[in-house]
Structure 1
C-alpha cells in the first residue's frame, strides 16, 4: 500500500512523499557535512533546498542522486532504496539530474543532443555510431522536448553558439529526455542575468506539470516563485521546513540566511 497524504501543523495536506530520506549522514574525515537529515519530497511538488554556504545543500543533493554514498541513512524512491546505488542506476529508476557543469558538444545541434539522449537507454552513453536513420525515429519527440524547453527556434544551430541561458535550457531538455519521475536541478539560475533568471523560472513552471522537482537554489526570488515547500539547512542539519510564506518570517531562518530585508517584505 502507498503512503497516505499527511497533514502539516498549519492544516495543509501534503501528498505522500515520492522521495524520502531518513537519518542521512555524510562524513568527510570526521566532519559531518550532512548530519541526520530527514526529507520528504511530495509527489508533484517543487521542493527547494536552501541555506548558507557550507550548510550541506550540495552534499545532500549529491546523496540523493548517487554521486556520493551516505555514511549512514536511507534514501527511498517509492519502494526502491537508492542509497549506495550508482548515478546511472538511480537515473534508470526515474531520478534525473540537470544543471550540472555544462557538458555539451559545441558542434552538435540541440536537436541531435536530444535525439542521442533519447536513443541511449540512460541518456548517459552518447552513441555516435548510430546512423541518422536510426536517430530519425526520435526526431519528433526531440522537437517536442526542445519546444518545451523554449528552444524550438534554436534546434538546428551548433550548441556552442547558444547563449548561457539557452545552454542551461538544453541541459534541462536532456534531463527531460529521460522522462524522470523526479527532476533535480542544481543551482538552475547560477551565473544568470535577470532576463535569463526570469526565463528559467517560466521554463521550470512549464515543465513541472506532472513531475516532481527538487532544486538547490541561492536566489530566494526564484525559491519564492517556484517552491511549494522549502527545507532550510544549516551545519548539515534541517533548521526549518515549510512553505516559503512561513519560513521567510522564521527568526532562525532570517538569522541564518535570508537577512532582515527578506523578513520585512
Structure 2
C-alpha cells in the first residue's frame, strides 16, 4: 500500500450523491472522497449499493441528485464514453470476452478503439500490427505474454480476469475502478491477482469492490463501508474491521458478553 498524504489531491469527490429506483434509495446522499494515488475499497453486505455507486461514478447510471467530480471536473450525468475520456476505466464483475479470439487480438482491438480508425480493423492487418510492442508490454504486465496467441476460451478463469485488467490498462487510465476482481477465484489465483493489482496500481488511483476481506486488507489504503446505500464507516482497514457497527452489519447482532 502507498503512503497517501492528507493533502494529496482528490481524484474522486461526490456530494450528496443519490440514486432512487421507484422509491428505493440504492445510493443515499453519499459524500465520498478518494485521494489521488490511493487504493480505496468499497465494501458492505449484499445490496449495500456498491455496484450502483460504481455505475454512477462511471456514467452507466445517471444520479437522481448530487454531484460527481473526477480530478476536479464535474462529470455528473455524463455518459460512459465522456467519463472515460477523463482518464477513467473500469472492469466488470462478470467476465465478458470473445472466446474464439486470442489475448493478443483482444488487446489489439482495445488499442484500435482508441484511434480514429475505431473498430474498422478489417481495413488493414498492418493497422493491427503497428502496436505490437505495446500489446506485448500490456500482456507482459498481467503475465499473459506466453499465452498471447491462445484462444481465450482455453484460458483459466484467473487468466481471463488478468486479460480484462490488461484491457483496462490499454486505456492508460489515471483512475481504475475494479468491480469484484477476485470473484470466483481459487486461493492461488487470488494471491496472484492481489500482486497484479498492487503492480498496476503504481502511479494510479484505484477504487475496488471486493467481498474478500483479505484482498481489501492487502491492498486498500482506505475503506468505505456502505449499508443500505449510506456510508456506515470509513477509515484504514484495521480500524474499520474492528468497528462494532461494521461487525453488526456483516454478522448481525451478537452477544459480546
Please report the TM-score for the alignment, with normalisation by the length of structure 2: 0.92
Tell me the secondary structure at the aligned position of residue 189 of structure 1. coil
Gaps of 5+ in 2: none
Tell me the residue number matched to 2:103: 110
| Partners of 2:195 and 2:251 in 1: CA distance | 23
1:126-182 per-position Cα deviation (integer Å, ceiling 9, x unaligned): 443242211111110011111111111111111111111100110110011000010
1:32 equivalent in alignment to 2:25? yes
Asked if structure 2 preserves the Cα contact closer than 8 Å seen for 1:26 and 1:71, the reply is yes
* One of 150, 154, 160 as aligned partner of 1:157: 150
In structure 1, the partner of 2:67 is: 74
Partner of 2:205: 212
Structure 1 residues 48-197: aligned runs within 5 Å: 48-121=41-114, 126-197=119-190
- Give the conservation status (yes or no) of the 8 Å contact 1:65–1:87: yes
Q: Secondary structure at the match of 1:168?
A: helix
Measure, in 2, the Cα distance between the counterparts of 1:193 and 1:73: 39
Q: Runs ≥4 in structure 1, deviation > 3 angstroms?
A: 125-128
1:228 to 198, 221, 233: 221
The question of whether the paired residues in 2 share the 8 Å contact of 1:19 and 1:41 is answered with yes
Given that 2:112 and 2:121 are in contact with CA atoms closer than 8 Å, whether structure 1 keeps it comes out as: no
Residue matched to 2:245? 252
User: Please, which of 12, 18, 33 is the counterpart of residue 19 of structure 1?
Assistant: 12
Q: List per-residue Cα deviations over 1:14-48 (Å, max 9, x = no partner).
A: 52211111110000001101000011111111000
1:249 Cα offset (Å): 1.1
Deviation at 1:62, TM superposition (A): 0.7
- Give me the TM-score of the superposition, normalised by structure 1: 0.90
- For 2:193, the equivalent position in structure 1 comes to 200
Paired residue secondary structure (2:245): helix
1:230–1:142 distance in 2 versus 1, CA, 3 Å: same
Provide the rounded CA distance (Å) in 1 between the counterparts of 2:229 and 2:115. 31
RMSD: 2.1
- Distance in 2 between residues matched to 1:156 and 1:109, nearest whole Å: 5
How far off is 1:99 after superposition?
Answer: 3.3
How many residues align? The count is 251
SS at match of 1:232: strand
Q: SS in structure 2 opposite 1:103? A: coil
How many Å separate the matches in 2 of 1:13 and 1:234?
26
Q: CA distance change for structure 1 residues 14 and 257 in 2, over 3 Å: closer, same or farther? A: farther
Are 1:88 and 1:122, in contact at CA under 8 Å, matched by a contact in 2? no
Contact 1:92 1:122 in 2 (8 A): no
Q: Secondary structure at the match of 1:200?
A: helix
